[in-house]
A and B are shown apart, each in its own frame.
Chain A
Amino acid sequence: MIRRLIINDFKSNRLITISTAVFMAAAAMMLGLTVFLFATLYSSISSLMIKAETPHFLQMHTGELSEEEIKAFTEKRPEVEKMQICGFLNLENGQLRIGDNSFDNNMQDNGLFCQSDAFDFLLDADNSVIRVSPGTVYVPVAYRNEYDINVGDTMYIGTEELSVAGFMRDSQMNSMMASSKRFLVNGSDYERLKYLGNEEYLIEYRLKEGSDTAAFATAYKDADLPCNGPAITYPLIKLMNALSDGIMVIIILLVSVVVLCISIMCIRYIVLTRLEKDRREIGMLKAVGISRMDIRKLYLSKYLLLSAIGCLVGSVSACVIAVPLGKGMRELYGEADDPVLVYALMIIGAILAEAMILLSVKRTLVSTEKISAVTALNGRSESRRSKNYWIPVSVIIMAAVFMMIVPDSMKKTMSDPEFVRYMGIGNSQIRIDVRRSQDTDDSAGELAARLAEDDRVDRYSVMETGAYRSFLSDGRAYDLILENGDHSIFPVNYTEGTYPQSEDEIAVSILNAEETGLEVGDSITICKNTKDGEAEKSTCVICGIYSDITNGGKTAKGCINDETPVMWSVMYVTLKDEVLPDEWMSEYSGGVSGTDQSIKIAEIAEYMKGMYGQTIRNIGKASLMTKSVACVVIMVVILLLMRLVIWRERRESSLKKALGFTASDIRMDYMKKLTFYLLTGLALGIVSGMVSAQRLAGILLGFMGARGIKFTTDAVSVFVVVPVLMILTSFIAAFISLREIANIKAYECLTTRE
């Protein structure tokens, strides 16, 4: 009988039933999708890093290297499980070409690499260790889509040729946020092509389970071993891997929460309206002795069935949507380790969404207890408070606008040229990277001199980065990657204080400040290197704290002039307006000699695109999905709420008709009301979006080390796209709902039965 009651109820209230199911399915889909993507990302990355046996500590080094010293240090460290020193043949991007694609504008350090014997394996599409045949090359999977590379294409390095045999996953450098990319070649090819590049070294360690990676990294530094290059640890690699796709997942999580809230709110309204409609029936059930609990169960069983349908539809939809959204993830990191577990977690996510909705329904159904049998049977209502059913329109439009503005704000902010300032990079037009070694020490100086004389250059600055040992006030040793130069020309964004203006001032990045507890005004002792090779301790004051995401976000800026070896130089250049950047850049590529391989030159916009293109594309995907979800939700909400309002005011509308109003007059009244509440919702949504959503997007970007960001509002999105989408969707839904007005008869108000 309960089944018949439910089925008949569904049949006679199709729209309400479908709307409820849609809300339940949407909430289940979004939460399921979020869990699915989170689980896939986590599981795939973990699986890739386990199969690749990613090093726990990695020191890059350019220059001479004494294997004996490193081995001696390694033997003394009981936590070391395995150690290896691998060669990395750094190539000049100008020499690189695959098919018709030139790597001229690529800002990554691209180089050749041989498969390791012990660990840090490069893997194929099945996450198996690749064995490369002579004459072939495996290309980083991140480049496949970026350059549209196919198996069989030819890779040109200068005059040499290699055939692309496939694509490989690199657990260390997969993400475009990692600044290097490895191309896998056979050992014989590596040796043969050595003359084309500069060999760098990767000193890699696998530590025993439970070892302290950070402590090991400090011990390595303290041992004065080769360290001319960045050092990376396992957690940082994992973070870099997770970030570019993780941001998309976090945005989807945000959308899920908003959709869940909207669903709970709408379903609550549906239940309340239904209860009001069923007041007399509930009164009768109470009168004939059906207990309060049984009445609640009667209603709950209906929503339980709907939630089961919603859960099923939501889970299936989540699986379908997860395919395109997770494509990038699967390409980069491979399939999840345990797909069954991932799907199980997704279903648990969907069930969780339904459980939250059912909990809210259950709470709402408590109001059946307030319905008195006596008053209900007499046709009276306890509360004659007339609910304003239009307010939810404003609230839900506000929520929808809010959830659309967040990803757009992030996308626009990250695409904005000013964004580089939050990355620890000055907002110049062109960036020239010079990797320093003994052979190329002169070229940086010559290049700087040439810039000084070039009258096409409007402004430029030269930054030289070196590693400095420092001591905090408590005596703790701390290694700083310090960038020296004139920081006033292209200042980065300082969340506190300002740039260093004298030798006794340094600015530190937020992550460094957080780790050391340093604040503006604090002192730090820096070990400078004097000409005669002696270390000289000098006290510096922290003059500023800035936002940075380069080199793992742990950097410092100063203007120290000493003899500390320069690891790399960066020159920032802005040309005069009339100068064509492409022409200027081609002149400077290859340095002063024209054949200098240690120089990379690119427009900052391109550099940003290379580093954040993948993340921005992912945010774009999330933004598109958000807009689609928002439109569907708004469509259903307006359809539903208009229907409820028309139902509640049916007698009033009938009376108006009896008094001579036309259906169009009545429709117009509704449209005016809708427009008012719609515009109110839009205004509130835009204001809250611009204030809180940006704060939220700031938190998301904070995960990447960028803080104190001032947002660039995407005016087109906020003031045109989003309002137009909301108005169009709402009006279409309203026109559909308002067709019902034609069915209201003028005589209905005269009949006694409701």
Chain B
Amino acid sequence: MALGARSQSTAVTSERLRAPWFLVGVLAIVCAAAAGLLIGPADIEVSAVVLELIDRLPLLTADSGLSSIHANIIWEVRLPRVVLGALVGATLAISGASYQAVFRNPLADPYLLGAAAGAGLGATIAIVTGSGDGMGTFDTVPMLAFLGSLAAVALTYFLGYSSGVRRSPAALLLSGVAVASFLTAIQTFIQQRNVETIRQVYSWILGRLNTASWSEVSLLAPYALLASLVILFHRRTLDVMRLGDAEASSVGIRPQVVRLIVIIAASLGTAAAVSVSGLIAFVGLIVPHTVRLLAGSSNRIVLPLSVMFGAAFLMSVDLLGRTIASPAEVPIGVITAFCGAPFFVVVLRSSRRSLG
């Protein structure tokens, strides 16, 4: 049997990320990162930035002629911000894609199970108690946001799976809605009782990368990497999950276990991302769907491309946010929705592919 089929075995192959799309992804990341490094309020020559970067490469030396202040702007302001933007964008996009896969719901995003509401409550508590000013390195805002986010998802999971509705994903989604509303109510209450900090709280909720530093990069990087790797390892399994729980189980996987593993990974990544960047909306929804519409619906394509386009998208959006009203910054969450939504509508209308 295998002998006869071998001669023509090119007909059936599995879907995977093909070279052209991979290259497009790499190109998008390189362009967005380059733009983020080269453009900014401080007037630094393009050539000087390039020489400064080359100088840091092993075995190469180049004199950029930059003052130490300008060199510092590149290494301590622009570069960590670009890297943080890439990590946040990649993490939110792949988390969103994985939630859409395990819940088989195109509306699923990383904040579905209460991650955003929990983080918002945590950050608000940290800000109003004055234990964090949102600026310092040893700041309780990211820590409480991270813990709040994880606690909210854990609560949602516990409520959803103890509700006795035969462990259906729908019960989980509904308890996510309930937990998010409940935590948002508490957050709003605390916020209204402390109007003097309302501006800080609001700025955190709209999302920002303007406090980016290497310490935040190192805070997020391990979680972003762990979450992405765990989810990417499940790329084929997540395609099996598209058959629904009963049929996925009949071909030999455990849908409940897969769902739990992916929720844990995505929640860790999301919690770490929002703890350093605030609540950046929409990335986890539009990036995976854009990829689906352009490149195909298999998770073997959607997940890796979401990482790449998520990173490129947030780096670009952040660049817009800090330049269009310079020297003031437009909150990044505002730009993601303002630019992302029309772009997504264009893709949606022009694509012949279906949203898987």
Do they bind each other?
A: no
Interface residues, chain B, CB within 8 Å of chain A? none
Interface residues, chain A, CB within 8 Å of chain B? none
